[in-house]
Amino acid sequence: MATQRRRREVVVGIFLLITAVLVDSAQARTSLTLSDKSNNIEFARASRGTVKTIQMKSSFLDEGESHLQGLPAELEEWGVDCPEGTVPIIRKTSENVPDIKDYVPSFFVDDVKSLHNKSFPVFASYNKGHEYAVVQTIGKGTFRGGQAIHNVWTPHTETGEASISQIWIYAGPDETVNTVEAGWAVDASSGTSRFFTYWTSDGYKSSGPGFVQTSKYYGPGSTISSTSTYNGKQFEINIQIRQDLSTQHWWLRLNDMDIGYWPGSIFNSLRGGADGVYWGGEIYNSEKNGQHTTTQMGSGHFPRDGYYTKSSFIRNLAYILNNGPMQPVPKAALVTYVSKPQCYDLVMGPSGLNFGTHFYFGGPGLSSQCPK
- Which spans in 76-145 are helix H? 106-110, 112-117
DSSP 67-78: ---SEEPPB---
249 vs 342: CA distance, rounded Å: 40
**What is the three-class DSSP state of 179?**
strand
- 65 an active-site residue? no
- Of 158, 161, 181, 236, the catalytic one is 181
Burial profile 346-371: b = 16 or more Cβ within 10 angstroms, e = fewer: bbebeeeeebbbbbbbbbbbbeeebe
Alpha helices (runs of H) in the chain, residue ranges in sequence order: 2-30, 41-44, 106-110, 112-117
d(CA 76, CA 203): 32
Query: In DSSP terms, which residues pair with 212 in a beta bridge?
Result: 261
DSSP-derived secondary structure letter, 162: E
Pairing verdict, β 326-328 and 312-321: antiparallel
Q: Which stretches does DSSP call E strand in the chain?
A: 51-53, 71-72, 86-88, 130-137, 143-151, 162-171, 178-187, 193-200, 212-213, 235-244, 249-254, 257-262, 276-284, 312-321, 326-328, 334-338, 345-348, 359-362
Residue 183 burial (CB < 10 Å; 0-12/13-18/19+)? buried
As a whole number of angstroms, the distance between CA 92 and CA 241 comes to 27
Is the separation of the CB atoms in 83 and 50 below 8 Å? no
Q: Is 181 a catalytic residue?
A: yes
Inter-residue contact 293 to 287 (CB < 8 Å):
yes
How far, CA to CA in Å, does 290 sit from each of 45, 129, 285? 37, 12, 11
Catalytic residue set: 181, 282
